[in-house]
Structure formats: C-alpha cells, structure tokens
Structure 1
Amino acid sequence: MQSKDLLQVAEQFGSPVYVYDAEKIQFQYNRLSKAFSKVSKLRINYAMKALSNVAILQLLRDMGSGLDTVSIQEVMLGLHAGYEPEKIFYTPNGVSLEEIEEVNAMGVQINIDNLSILEQFGTKYPEVPVCIRINPHVMAGGNANISVGHIDSKFGISVHQLPHLVRIVENTKMNIVGIHMHTGSDILDIGVFLYAAEILFDAAKSFKNLEFLDFGSGFKVPYKKDDIETDIEELGKKLSKRFNAFCVEYGKELTLIFEPGKFLVSEAGCFLAKVNVVKQTTSTVFAGIDSGFNHLIRPMFYGSQHHIENISHPKGKERFYSVVGYICETDTFANNRRIAEIKEGDILSFRNAGAYCYSMASNYNSRYKPAEVLWMNGEGHLIRAHETFEDILRNQIPLPQAVETV
C-alpha cells in the first residue's frame, strides 16, 4: 500500500482505522510454503490470536491455511469463517476440562499442555486423537512476555516429565497423533529453533503412531529500517532436510506443521490516526493523536517500536516528536522520534500494525474501538465498522428504577 492509498482509506472511512494489505498476507503465506517445498506434507495453521477478523480468516482459508486457536471462542469464529473442523487446531492453556470437552465435540484437533488434563481427558476419551504440547526448556523470544518455552513457563509439559507423560498414555491407552512445541515469538537465531527441534524429534520417538509434528512459529519480522528478521529461507533448507531424515528414521512420512501469526499479518497492517494537537513544552514537542494504547498497546506493553510516518506531508522537514495518545495516563507511542513536520489534522501511519494490535484493543476510558479495512485489488473494503455508543452500552444492565442507590 502506498501513502496515497492510506490517505484514501482515512478519508473514506475516518480515523482511527486499521488497514490490512491482502497482497502482503498472501505473499508471506506463499513465501513460507516455498521455503518448505522440499517437505512432502506441509500444513500452515494461521495463529488467529494475532488478528481474528473473520474477513482475514476467510482470506487465509481460501489459500489453504488451517487455524491455530487458543480458546473456544476462536474455534467458533473459525467455524463461522467456513473452516472445516479438521482444519482447526485447538491449543488452550489453563482452561477447564469442560471447555476442552465442548471443543472436542466440535470435531477439531485437541492439543493438551498439562499432565492433569491429559490424564483426565485420556481416561474419558481414549479413542480421540490428541496432540501433546512439549515445553523444550529453550529460551527464545524478543520479550519476556512472549518467551514461552523456557523452564519457568506455564506453557507445555516439561520434556523432563516425558516418562510420566508416557506412563499416562500407556495407562489410558489414549490416541496420541502429534507432538507440538512453541518456544516464543521474535526468534532471531535459527540455531535456537533447530536445537529445540531436536528436542521435539527425541520426544517423538516415544510415540509410535504419530501423524504430525508441530513446530509452532515465532518468526521475527522487521519493525524498522535495516531491522533483522528470521531467515525463513535458510530455516527452510536446514529444517526440511532434518525433518525428512527424521521421517525416514521414524519409518513414516509425517506432516510438518507451523503456526505463524505475526509472520503472516504483521507487515500487512497499518494503523492510521489523525493528529489532534501539537503541543510544545519547554523540552518536548508532543503530537497528540485521536487514539491511545486502548487501540495500540504494543509500544506500552512490550516496548515495541512501530515506524511512524506523516503520510499527509511525508517530505516535510524532519523534527523530533513524542507521539502520544488521548488516554488519561501515560500513553506514549514514541519518544523523540524523527518524523516529517507534523501539523494538526495530519494523518500518521504506524507500520507493522497487523499482528496483536486490533486483537488487543479495548474500550478503556470508554473509548470506541476503531474500524478495520482490507485493502484488496486496489480498493478498501470495510471489514469492521467503527464502534458506536450503542456498542458500549450493549451488554450493560442498568439498575431497576425501584432500587435505591447510595
């Protein structure tokens, strides 16, 4: 998408607004598929927690993608978007047995990540195909909040508990069809990923009837100019060779599964916001926009950097600005960032806003959530409308008139 396209979206649909480039999503999907073209059976399950708009799910469904879901609500959204149950993979964490049973009744693939639930589920449903999530105890990820494979993580069954795990499987005679791992997001060193893969291969040898190995995802995408990213092509060459060799060793052709979220949609997204006010203080120039961390929390929550461009006047003289929001507490998108001179009414574009941006938005300060637009075939398609006051009130129940309030 070019700046003129983004300005067209802002003018047509108003701000703040998220815009997603369908062509970029498709490019990333095909890039990953091509990198692992030497693997006979490859499956890509989109991690929909990154961006769960139904239109995005349908776009990826039409490319052949499956879904990685983490809640019963995501499973329901996937079914609503037209995915066949067998194309949906359910990997919850810390949920009740009752939720897992409800999802199982929908016919999707169950992935269990703790011994207690594994034993309970296996005892009741030994015939149901189940995947097991292993914690490889490998520290990976660009932030402590997204590093999920280390020894202190709440995710997965410790690889050191493998004997106990095998005993449960033998006692319940449950049907284990897959082994899964996920080390974390923003992985830079493919050597770390390959090291964790060896742990998964070793764990897989304990199960005789596997159909697939799921390597999760967590691939790093660039957030700024000259930023480093996961070398998908190099990983494809090395892991494909090792995976194919393992299949020969295992005596069966298995399916290799990935669960990319950020890799597929992050770079496809832009967040557009209008400048409400330019405020000069003794030491700082603030650009205050018609949004806040209620719409884009990643800079405040993860310390992440999103490239900010003044698309209204991109060739203006650069000045230093602190870009802030309208939320009634510290609400900063960028400190002392070089941006083309900003005037009130200008539209700012935040890049890499496709993943974990709208999906983490809230109504804090009773602000409305923004609209979402899919840019496809040279035009913008509204895929979620701006919220209204009626949306804020929708599930609220006022006190009956007869009740006295203090």
Structure 2
Amino acid sequence: MPAPYQLQGIPTTTIADEFGLPLYVYDADKIIDQINRFRAAFSGSPGREINLRIKYATKALTNLSILKLMRMQGVEVDVVSVNEARLALLAGYTPEQIMYTPSGNAWPEIQEAIQMGLRLNVDSLPLLEQVGNTYGHTVPVCLRINPSVADGGNLKIQTGHADSKFGIPHALRADIARMVVHYGIVVEGLHVHTGSDFKSARTFLQGAEVLFDLAGDYPDLKFIDFGSGFKVAYREGDHVTDMAELGTAITDAFSAFCDRYGRALELWFEPGKFLVSEAGHLLVGVNVVKQHPTRTFVQVDSGLNHLIRPMMYDAYHEIVNLSNPMGTPTTYDVVGYICETDTFATNRDLPEVRPGDVLSIENAGAYGFSMASTYNLRPRPAEVLVYEGTPHLIRQRDTFEDLTRGMVDVAMLNEELIIKN
C-alpha cells in the first residue's frame, strides 16, 4: 500500500506503535526526491547551465537531523534568527553557507549574526543605515526588495505586495543607492520573496524583472535570490506550481539577464514548504467519536497546539484513516483536544472512524512542529525520520519536566500559603 499507509516499506501503524501518539513522521526519501526535482527544474539548458544554490528555509521544519539531511544533499540554509543559525552550525554548516534574513530583529542580534560571519540580507532602510554607519564597506550585504507584487494563496502568506512589512520597497531605489554610496556598502546580492503558493511563472518573472532592473545600480553582485513560494498539493486535484515551466522561464530570463549584466551570477532559491511539506505526516489517535444531532465529531489526541495551519490559515490537510481504510465512508468533523474551537476538518468523508483508530494528517512537514506550542500545558509530539528504511527518533516527546522547566517557585508565595492554611 502506498504512503501514508507505508513509508519506505514500513507500515505507518507500526511506527505509531513503536513511538506512541501523537507523532510527527518524516519520509527522508520524499525530501530527497523534492531536492532532486528542484535541481532538475533549474538546471538550465545545454550550454547555458545555471550556477544554482538551494537555501533551505529552516523555519519550515527546524530539526537538527533534517538540517543534516539537507547538508548531505548539498543544500544550504536560510535562517531568520540567530538560534536557527546556531542549529545550522551544529548541523555542520559553515557561516558562509547560511543566509540570515532578519525581519525587524533587534540590533544586538544582527550584530551577533555579523560576528558569526553569516551572510546578511537587509530588510529595511533603517537597518541598511545602521550597518553602513557601523561597518562601512567591511560587511557585504544582500538587499531584500519588496517588488509590490501580490499573488499566491492566503493573504497572510503573501509577502511581496505593497502593504507588506517585508523588504525595502523598490520605489525607494534612489534612497537605497544614495545610502550605499554614502557608506561605501558592498552589495553582493539582491533578494525578493513574494510569498507562498504561486501557481505559475508569471509572478516570479514580475519579481525577477524588478531585480534585473535594479541590478544595474550594483556592479559587484554575486547572486540573485528569488526566495520561494512554490505551491504543493494539499488534496487530490490541487493546482500546483508547474516546476518544469517555472524552471525554463526563470533560467531563460536569468541567462539573458547575465548576458546583459556582463557576467554569470549565482541563482539562489530558498524553498521550505516545497522540500518538506509532503514528507510529513502527523499521526494522531482517536479518543472519542461523539454523535450530535447535526454532526459527528472525531476527537483526537492532538490539536492546534501541534498543527495550527487549519485554524490560522483555513488550510486544508488530507486526513487518512490508517486503521480502517476500507470502512464505510462517513462524514465527520475532526477536532482536537484543546480548550478552544480547534478543528482540523469539517464535513470530511472518511472510512468509518472508531475510538482507538490511528489517523494521519497529511502535508504536515512544513510549519507543523516548528509552529507547535505547549498550550493547555500539552506536550509537543516526538519526531521520527524514516531514513534508508529505518525509523529514527529525532526529537523526544516533551515531558512534564520539559513543560515546567524555567518556572520559578517563589518562596514568599509558599510562605503565604502556609500562613493561610
């Protein structure tokens, strides 16, 4: 039986029995397949090969073993915090392989990133001025440009439109250039990231043309970075980004730009969801099947504390009944155990669900565990990576001690309790 019933030949229910529920399980083979698919799309044409660098967006799935897998496959990293960078260094990356893209981060953190030797992607004019005033020409930067392009899925994940907080508006081109000249700043790259879930090459090409035009102001560029935003399928029949079409369109446009620029630059991308989303499965157990007059609820041992995307973005995630795949189709609301409106799916047809069944919530590799919380003082799940036919524990399940670590028992309050009692 295909995934999610089996992962690399191992029954998924067997993995659930071994490691317990709820549980995040990732298929390393699927991640590697996505990396290879990405490389193939942006390889260029014969005689016009592209110098491609893939920078995995660490925030999508932040785990030491996942980063090591990426490094083994020749994939570098993009980080948005110093702690993500520290984890990348633990995984064996060099500072030069790490792109640091702050978004309103505190100046001391940015200075720490510079001291670590990370590549700096500047997100605002005030930050550009601070860097220039403090470091002058000694710290090369990449400029993150907002191209005023709106496209993709949910508005909450669009980052390139004119009202977005991200990037320096390209309308401020003259101000950027004046500041660069004034401080002698070395600009080594231009960056754009217009958001997520693009379906065609059109939006990427719009953002690309903004950068290609801006590149004329900076003669010492080493790379152009197009970020990411590739749409993956969340349900059967979903429209996804045509990677072959996108690859051809972008590499042709990039090659023509390099000809005009006078030399070949590196082409960078920062995929996160595209590499890990479909590799991830959140396995949950059914606690209660609860019949109401108007609907039937399936209550599971997980919730928005483990996968917030359905509640935050109205995201659709396929749900599979691993325990009873041939059961009679029945309509359910699948809900969590958090004391909030906590819904994974509404009016979802599933094979008959019984207490004790194991369900798999699909496309849970990206922004699942990395956005998880301990709300209601619930532990975060364990994480397992299936690699070369063997499931490996890559993060332990939270314990009560983990949940209370950092809490301080104030002696005065204990004395007060003694007095009152």
Give the TM-score category using the shorter length.
Answer: over 0.9
Equivalence for 1:134:
145
Equivalence for 1:37:
43
Equivalence for 1:125:
135
Distance 2:175 2:372 in 1: 40
SS of equivalent to 1:86: helix
SS of equivalent to 2:411: coil
Distance 1:387 1:194 in 2: 44
CA apart distance, 1:403: 5.5
Determine if contact 1:97/1:121 at 8 Å carries over to the other structure.
Answer: no
SS of equivalent to 1:125: helix
Equivalence for 1:76:
86
1:225 maps to which of 207, 211, 236: 236
Distance 2:208 2:343 in 1: 38
Distance 1:8 1:360 in 2: 26
Q: Does 1:404 align with 2:412?
A: no
Equivalence for 2:60:
50
Determine if contact 1:285/1:320 at 8 Å carries over to the other structure.
Answer: yes
Distance 2:322 2:304 in 1: 21
Distance 2:362 2:154 in 1: 19
2:115 maps to which of 91, 105, 114: 105
Unaligned runs of 5+ in 2: none
Distance 2:350 2:229 in 1: 30
Q: Does 1:185 align with 2:201?
A: no
Distance 1:379 1:355 in 2: 22
For normalisation by structure 2, the TM-score amounts to 0.95
Distance 2:290 2:172 in 1: 57
Determine if contact 1:368/1:392 at 8 Å carries over to the other structure.
Answer: yes
The percentage of counterpart residues that share the same residue type is 51
Determine if contact 1:214/1:258 at 8 Å carries over to the other structure.
Answer: yes
CA apart distance, 1:379: 1.9
Paired residues for 1:7-406 under 5 Å: 7-38=13-44, 39-126=49-136, 127-401=138-412, 404=416
SS of equivalent to 1:372: strand
CA apart distance, 1:189: 2.5
Distance 1:336 1:239 in 2: 40
Distance 1:167 1:119 in 2: 11
Distance 1:379 1:6 in 2: 12
CA apart distance, 1:365: 0.3
Distance 2:158 2:12 in 1: 34
Determine if contact 1:70/1:92 at 8 Å carries over to the other structure.
Answer: yes
SS of equivalent to 2:116: coil
Q: Which runs of 4+ in 1 moved over 2 A?
A: 401-406
Distance 2:298 2:393 in 1: 27
Which moved further from structure 2: 372-381 or 253-262?
372-381
Determine if contact 2:50/2:251 at 8 Å carries over to the other structure.
Answer: no
Report the aligned-residue RMSD. Answer: 1.1
Determine if contact 1:128/1:174 at 8 Å carries over to the other structure.
Answer: yes
Distance 2:156 2:84 in 1: 21
Letter in 2 for 1:345: G
SS of equivalent to 1:279: strand
SS of equivalent to 2:341: coil
Distance 2:77 2:61 in 1: 12
1:63-122 CA distance string (max 9 Å, x none)? 111101001111111111111110000001011222111101111100011001101111
CA apart distance, 1:404: 3.3
For normalisation by structure 1, the TM-score amounts to 0.98
Distance 1:58 1:92 in 2: 23
Determine if contact 1:140/1:148 at 8 Å carries over to the other structure.
Answer: no
CA apart distance, 1:141: 2.4
SS of equivalent to 1:105: helix
SS of equivalent to 2:278: coil
Which moved further from structure 2: 149-158 or 122-131?
122-131
